[in-house]
Amino acid sequence: MSQATSTEAASRWSARSWVPILATSAVLVAAMVTALSIGRYSVPFSSVVQTLGSHILPIKAPASETQQNVVWLVRFPRVLLAVLVGGGLGVAGAALQAIFRNPLVSPDIIGVSSGASFGGALALLLGLGSWYLVGGAFVFGLTALVILLLVTLGPEGAPMLMVVLGGVVTGSFFSALVALTTYVADPYTTLPAIVFWLLGSLATATFAQVAVAVAPIGVGTVALLLVRWRINVLSLGDEDASALGVRPGRIRWLVLVSAALIVAGAVAVSGVIGWVGLVIPHLARMWVGPDHRVMLPVSFLLGAAYLVAVDTLARTLTAGEIPLGVLTALIGAPVFFLLLRRNRDRVWDSA
């Protein structure tokens, strides 16, 4: 992309740019309403509406207590968590792909997922409560980022190749620590709990977990959205960005820290859910183009809608629950394959 097209893109920001954002918002709302209305325990749609209404307006819902509990305490936190995790992973993936200028980058690449996995696995190994699980994932996710900083940061800033290699090294190190955790875990008690959590699931969603996830994911997402114009400039390359008066080093680290916050928050509450951060930005880019002012919000909304839909499938298709991470990979990989086949020539530059 040249500077000329970027200026052109900037000038194209207009009322029309809101169309994809509004359209995806509508899709997300539709997905959420659908998710709230279906489940293994049957609740009539009118009761769903009444229950939601009674928690917003001071009216008493005529729905039975069980129906209200199912909608408000079981489905609603789960849907909110899917929105946060899916949206967060989508926007983090989009921002990372832009600053690495590499369409195959996903949040896993900077090692934060592995770090967070280790923190959570450690908490499960030691038999600590769910707050420690969340805290452990968070602390070690950020630890992975600090190690990455120490590995890559020199007097001249961090070269892109070093960041990728540093991420691979950090990720491998924490993967080994996760393997060590499972090695010493009791195969009858703690190991299955660790494996279940690592597999990725929203099954244990509560409002407490939503409260925990909303801070890191919210802060990270807002930060990314605030610098979305600068991300556009950064995606031109460091020299062009410097020439345009943007300091590439600072913005890049701001994006990395934001993405790390988002991923740590997501892994803490839901384990490792793969593919969302890779597939969703691609879908968004093919639809709205590489202008990050539009593409970042669309990635968030699309990721949120996608995870809400997939999680609804995971909990309703069979009596047993299908692991979410498995389902996102099963759906994500073939979709990604088709996208790549169809758009071989314009995956990155001219989508």
Partner 1 sequence: MAGRFQKEEGGGVSEGAGLRTRSEPAALPCNGLASRRTLLKASAVAAGAALLTACGGDGSSPATTRPRGITVTDQRGKTIVFDKPVTRAVTIPIPAASMLIAIDGSADRLVGMQDASWTAIRDGIMGTMFPVALKVTHDVANEEFAPNVESILALSPDVVVQWGDHGSEIITPLENAGLTVLGLSYGTQADLTAWIRLFAAITGKPDRGRAMLTQINAQLRNVRSVGSAERGTPPKILYFLRYADGLEVAGTDTYNDYYIALVGATNPATGTKAVQGFAAVDVEQVLAWDPDIILLGNFDSALPDDVYRDDVWRAVSAVRARRVYKVPFGGYRWDPPGQESPLMWRWLSDIAFPMQSGTASDLRARIVSSYQFLYRYTPTTSQIDDILWTDVNSGSVHYRELFAG
| Binding residue (CB under 8 A) for partner 1 from 182, 253, 339, 351 | 182
Q: What is the DSSP letter of 256?
A: H
Range in contact with partner 1 (rule: CB under 8 A) among 96-104, 182-190, 215-223, 234-242 = 182-190
The answer to whether residues 313 and 322 touch, using CB atoms and an 8 Å cutoff, is: yes
The answer to whether residues 95 and 296 touch, using CB atoms and an 8 Å cutoff, is: yes
One-letter amino acid of 294: V
Regarding 201 and contact with partner 1 (CB under 8 A), the answer is yes
State the minimum distance, in angstroms, from the CB of residue 144 to partner 1.
11
Regarding 308 and contact with partner 1 (CB under 8 A), the answer is no
| Binding residue (CB under 8 A) for partner 1 from 24, 47, 51, 114 | 114
- Token pair for residue 181? 């955790």
Q: Tell me how many residues contact partner 1 (CB under 8 A).
A: 57
Nearer to partner 1 among residue 133 and residue 296 (C-beta): 133
Length of the chain: 351
Nearer to partner 1 among residue 80 and residue 158 (C-beta): 80
State the minimum distance, in angstroms, from the CB of residue 309 to partner 1.
16
Range in contact with partner 1 (rule: CB under 8 A) among 139-147, 196-204, 252-260, 298-306 = 196-204
Regarding 193 and contact with partner 1 (CB under 8 A), the answer is yes
| CA–CA gap between residue 61 and residue 54 (Å, rounded) | 6
The answer to whether residues 241 and 233 touch, using CB atoms and an 8 Å cutoff, is: yes
Site string for partner 1, 24-43 (x = CB under 8 A): ---------------xxxx-
| Distance from chain centroid for Cα 38 | 24
| CA–CA gap between residue 72 and residue 191 (Å, rounded) | 32
- Token pair for residue 228? 């979305």
| CA–CA gap between residue 276 and residue 202 (Å, rounded) | 14
Regarding 178 and contact with partner 1 (CB under 8 A), the answer is yes
Regarding 175 and contact with partner 1 (CB under 8 A), the answer is yes
Regarding 325 and contact with partner 1 (CB under 8 A), the answer is yes
Range in contact with partner 1 (rule: CB under 8 A) among 54-62, 112-120, 161-169, 220-228 = 112-120
Q: What per-residue string of b and e applies to 133-166 under the rule 16 or more CB within 10 Å gives b? A: bbbbbbbbbbbbbebbeebbeeeebbebeebbeb
Regarding 118 and contact with partner 1 (CB under 8 A), the answer is yes
**Stretch 148-167 residues interacting with partner 1 (CB under 8 A):** none
One-letter amino acid of 60: K
- Token pair for residue 107? 């949040």
| CA–CA gap between residue 93 and residue 298 (Å, rounded) | 12
Site string for partner 1, 59-78 (x = CB under 8 A): -----xxx--xx--xxx---
State the minimum distance, in angstroms, from the CB of residue 129 to partner 1.
9
The answer to whether residues 21 and 294 touch, using CB atoms and an 8 Å cutoff, is: yes
Regarding 183 and contact with partner 1 (CB under 8 A), the answer is yes
Nearer to partner 1 among residue 14 and residue 189 (C-beta): 189
Residues 6+ apart with CB under 8 A from 247: none
List of residues contacting partner 1 (CB under 8 A): 39-42, 64-66, 69-70, 73-75, 108, 113-114, 117-118, 124, 127, 130, 171, 174-175, 178-179, 182-189, 191-201, 203-204, 271-272, 274, 315, 318-321, 323, 325-326
